[in-house]
Structure 1
Amino acid sequence: MLASLEKTPLTIFREMKLFIIVWVGQLIASIGTTISAFALDVWVYEQTGSVTQFALIALANTLPLILLAPVAGLFVDRWDRKWTMIISDLLAILPTVAIAILLLIGRLEIWHIYLANTSSAVFMAFQMPAFIASITLLVPKQHLGRANGMLSLMNGTARLVAPPLGGVLLGLISLQGIIALHITTIFLSIGILLLLQFPQSRTPDITNEGSSFLKQTTYGFTYLLARPGLLGVLIISAYSFFLVGGVQVITTPLILSFAPVTVLGTIISLFGVAILAGGLLMGIWGGLERNMNMIYGCMLLTGVFLIVAGVQASIFVFIVGIFLFFLLRPIIASSTQAIFQAKVEPLVQGRVFSIKGAIEAVGLPLGYITIGPLAEKVFEPLMATDGFLAGNIGQIIGVGTGRGMGLLCIIMGILTISATCIAYFFPRLRLVEDELPDVIDEVALATPAADIPAMAK
């Protein structure tokens, strides 16, 4: 029994071979897409000189993913997942081709960028849940943690590589060349998908196909409401996204209160390294057998690291605390995703995962719009040299610029630890891995090694 649990890296590679091939293609596409997005952001800033435009571009990228989640999830469950990814990629690249043509003839304008980003995001609302829902078809249950860690590694790699590489490529091949590179990477990833045969789920669809379109599109919500343990996992995940939004919105001004602007970029890149390292750790290790224990432990440590980051007016202490905070992010995300993949029937994963992604996506901007104003309008004045809290809390953590944001980090840390402890006493959440049956064992998880790659039917 013990011998069966101890697998060599070669054995793990063989069992995850199909997923790894797909992952490589998606990594190539992700790097190309992120570099292109970075270059377009630079172009927009050079044309307008407005930082506000970045927020509008981010909104154009995010809003369709949230609004279309119920509908996209329904069709992802009805369509072949591999072909959904291929067609979505093809359609999502068309707006980029249009930008390239407009740029070539000298007619590109700012509103074209917004329109193109929104159009691409519409199609990516189908591609992303199709990819995530395919993982249970490509990976044995015992490797879900590794697979999800590799997803975090993919996202972290793209975000870390894009800014420096995009800056170099802008000088070498200009924006037109970067867009051509983006299109090339997408077609490479599509080519890889075309060469592969995805296993098909044998799990029957548990939804009522005769129900109305409205009931079908809202099925993801009703599915989660009927399973409070899964809903609790999703709430924890969304809250962790909220924390990320809160940390991101105060990081820049807090760092600038300690150090000059020349240091800011280096520190933010360092936090990207933390996300990359966390994804790499999960990709190699795979996590604990019980994912809920991993989630509880990491959320408690998240609270501790937030307190550490805010407790002292020291740039070194802040960097250490936030670095460790971001290091845990891929571990939390991988563990929550593994629970959903193991417990949600494969033929409804598109609907459920789309709703999951939409709710998590809301958490990020919610952190921006709540923590940001609280820091600027409430806590910074309270912790000013002559502020209301200067004579008590200020004697412990210091006063002046940045100390209000430090106090806010401490409060977020305390709330995270408290909420995690409360969540532990919710039995449906704590026992979700025991009470809900595993569904992944009912799926054809892998094709024989000889069939990889094989031409798609």
Structure 2
Amino acid sequence: MKLPQFLSPGMRTYTAVWFGQMVSMIGTALTDFGVGVWIYQKTGSATPFAMVLLCMVVPGILATPVAGALADRWDRRRTMVLADAGAALSTLFMAVMLFAGRLELWHILAAVAFASTCRAFQGPAWMASTTQLVPAEQLGRASGMMNFGRAVAGILGPALGGVLVPAIGLQQVMLIDFATFIVAVGILFAVRFPPLPARAEPDAPKQPLLKEAAAGWQYVGSQPALRAHLLFFALVNLALGYVWVLHAPLVLGFAGPGSLGLVGSAMGAGLLAGSLVMTITGGPKRKAAAILSYGVLLGLSLMLMGARPWVPLVAAAMFGITVGIPVVNGSLMALWMPRIPADLRGRTYAVIQMLVWSTEPIAYLSAGVLADALFKPLLVQGGPLAGTLGALTGVGPTRGIGLLLGVAGIFVLAVTAAMALLPHFRTADSIPLAAEPDAPPVAAAEEPASEGAPVPVPA
């Protein structure tokens, strides 16, 4: 694949790696769809889906601090290769167990947990490398490209899975996924990343790994604006966690699977549209203001989603929820990564990732209990709110889910208003960029840079 010559060397490298990762994400989405079908056919229960979601998130959260420290110590390209290879092996393991007729739920949970740990190592290494490859003014566009890849995977994965799983079977779908990992790893072998940034004290001995990991926490603790932004994102992710768990039962409570597919299409279309905006424009100039604006959009969309049992309304709300996700994620990345010292970016990004993800398991564990035990009885026939609020929203078995999502929307609006009152939250764009250290010299034995190979690009 010949890359456009108008791109800078670093951006060409980023684009090549991005393409490989997108192909891999499409393969992963195929497997996720097929495994979901397999689990439902074997168990007929929703509980295993919650278990899989937890295994997708929790191991990665626990591994992230150490992974971030190693991303600042190890060669980042090789770290990504190992992470992709580990995720590929987890898929191959499931395929082998399925072929042998011995695949069980606990095998899937173990494989998903291992893949989650591998992603914890890949994320900080890739993000820290991106800031070296891509100029600071292009970071929003780079984030948009990655979210575009996720959106394409989210749309194509289920669509292709619905055709391929019945036609060729889950095992062959898993082998296709394994092949996409080979594409991603092959591209990583073919490119070169800039050398690791010079250490602040090059002659100082290496610190213990946990002490190095703590440096990321110390940096976050020293930045009031970053702490406020991370608190905002953590609380927003809590609200979004309820959306991911509850939107399917909300729709299926008053409509059929086809309507749920329409809502899923709106979700994918929103992610795709937001990603294209970021890729084309590079994102908003006032990034802190964009983050607050998404809080308003999310809060209103959540309230709209729960207002009435009407599929077009829910689909429009889901589009509003997802269209802003690539923009707000890209704004956070473009705002903070150039302001973090280069030799701290891997471990600091790991801390950012860990804190932002930390609330998702709370939503996964509490959504069902809150919806069924607390909110559902309020809006059924004869419930305490049936004659008042129910006159506006309707009554029925899933109207409690709508009420829960509406309350989550009010919560997000309140959080957004509180953050908007903090001067350091609003003025974070004015914080100076971090100085970029000179790259360490390349050893004579290393391969010389050829056309298209990356050179250190100021972030």
Q: Give the TM-score of the pair, scaled to structure 1.
A: 0.88
Mapped to 1, the partners of 2:389 and 2:229 lie a distance apart of 34
Q: One-letter code of the match for 2:183?
A: L
Task: Report the alpha carbon displacement of residue 209 of structure 1 after superposing the two structures with TM.
Answer: 5.5
Q: Which moved more, 1:151-160 or 1:248-257?
A: 248-257
Q: 1:117 to 1:384 in 2, by over 3 A?
A: closer
Q: Where does residue 386 of structure 2 map in the other structure?
A: 390
Work out whether residues 68 and 213 of structure 2, in 8 Å CA contact, stay in contact via their aligned partners in 1.
yes
Q: 1:226 to 1:384 in 2, by over 3 A?
A: same
Q: One-letter code of the match for 1:353?
A: Y
Q: Where does residue 3 of structure 1 map in the other structure?
A: none
Q: Where does residue 4 of structure 1 map in the other structure?
A: none
Task: Report the alpha carbon displacement of residue 454 of structure 1 after superposing the two structures with TM.
Answer: 8.0
The equivalences for 1:61-72 within 5 A come to 61-72=56-67
Task: Report the alpha carbon displacement of residue 211 of structure 1 after superposing the two structures with TM.
Answer: 4.5
Work out whether residues 375 and 401 of structure 2, in 8 Å CA contact, stay in contact via their aligned partners in 1.
yes
Q: One-letter code of the match for 2:451?
A: D
Work out whether residues 60 and 117 of structure 1, in 8 Å CA contact, stay in contact via their aligned partners in 2.
yes
Matched, 1:356 2:352: yes
Matched, 1:280 2:302: no
Matched, 1:59 2:54: yes
SS where residue 258 of structure 1 aligns? coil
Task: Report the alpha carbon displacement of residue 243 of structure 1 after superposing the two structures with TM.
Answer: 1.6
Q: 1:105 to 1:404 in 2, by over 3 A?
A: closer
% identical equivalent positions? 34
Work out whether residues 22 and 193 of structure 1, in 8 Å CA contact, stay in contact via their aligned partners in 2.
yes
Mapped to 2, the partners of 1:253 and 1:93 lie a distance apart of 32
Task: Report the alpha carbon displacement of residue 371 of structure 1 after superposing the two structures with TM.
Answer: 4.1
Number of residues paired by the alignment? 443
Candidates 263, 268, 282, aligned match of 1:267: 263
What RMSD over aligned residues (CA atoms) do the two structures have, in Å?
2.8
Task: Report the alpha carbon displacement of residue 404 of structure 1 after superposing the two structures with TM.
Answer: 3.0
Candidates 86, 94, 116, aligned match of 1:91: 86
Q: Cα deviations across residues 24-45 of structure 1 (Å, max 9, x unaligned)?
A: 0111111112212322333333
Matched, 1:24 2:19: yes
SS where residue 351 of structure 1 aligns? helix
> Please, which runs of 5 or more residues in structure 2 have no aligned partner?
440-447
The equivalences for 1:174-213 within 5 A come to 174-202=169-197, 204-205=199-200, 211-213=207-209
Candidates 16, 25, 33, aligned match of 2:28: 33
Candidates 412, 415, 439, aligned match of 1:416: 412
Mapped to 1, the partners of 2:143 and 2:125 lie a distance apart of 14
Q: One-letter code of the match for 2:181?
A: I
Work out whether residues 134 and 142 of structure 2, in 8 Å CA contact, stay in contact via their aligned partners in 1.
yes
The equivalences for 1:179-258 within 5 A come to 179-202=174-197, 204-205=199-200, 211-258=207-254
Mapped to 1, the partners of 2:288 and 2:377 lie a distance apart of 39
Candidates 77, 80, 94, aligned match of 2:75: 80
Task: Report the alpha carbon displacement of residue 352 of structure 1 after superposing the two structures with TM.
Answer: 1.5
Work out whether residues 201 and 443 of structure 1, in 8 Å CA contact, stay in contact via their aligned partners in 2.
no
Q: 1:12 to 1:452 in 2, by over 3 A?
A: closer
Q: Give the TM-score of the pair, scaled to structure 2.
A: 0.87
Work out whether residues 18 and 452 of structure 1, in 8 Å CA contact, stay in contact via their aligned partners in 2.
yes
**Structure that is richer in helix per residue:** 1
Work out whether residues 200 and 443 of structure 1, in 8 Å CA contact, stay in contact via their aligned partners in 2.
no
Q: 1:36 to 1:313 in 2, by over 3 A?
A: closer
Q: Which moved more, 1:149-158 or 1:262-271?
A: 262-271
Work out whether residues 278 and 327 of structure 1, in 8 Å CA contact, stay in contact via their aligned partners in 2.
yes
Q: Where does residue 452 of structure 2 map in the other structure?
A: 452
Task: Report the alpha carbon displacement of residue 303 of structure 1 after superposing the two structures with TM.
Answer: 1.5
Mapped to 2, the partners of 1:420 and 1:206 lie a distance apart of 40
Mapped to 2, the partners of 1:21 and 1:440 lie a distance apart of 27
Mapped to 1, the partners of 2:281 and 2:228 lie a distance apart of 25
Q: Where does residue 332 of structure 1 map in the other structure?
A: 328
Work out whether residues 341 and 440 of structure 1, in 8 Å CA contact, stay in contact via their aligned partners in 2.
no
Q: Which moved more, 1:368-377 or 1:326-335?
A: 368-377
Mapped to 1, the partners of 2:288 and 2:252 lie a distance apart of 37
> Please, which runs of 5 or more residues in structure 1 have no aligned partner?
1-8
Mapped to 2, the partners of 1:277 and 1:302 lie a distance apart of 16
Q: One-letter code of the match for 1:367?
A: A
Task: Report the alpha carbon displacement of residue 11 of structure 1 after superposing the two structures with TM.
Answer: 4.8
SS where residue 376 of structure 2 aligns? helix
Work out whether residues 224 and 230 of structure 1, in 8 Å CA contact, stay in contact via their aligned partners in 2.
yes
Task: Report the alpha carbon displacement of residue 346 of structure 1 after superposing the two structures with TM.
Answer: 2.5
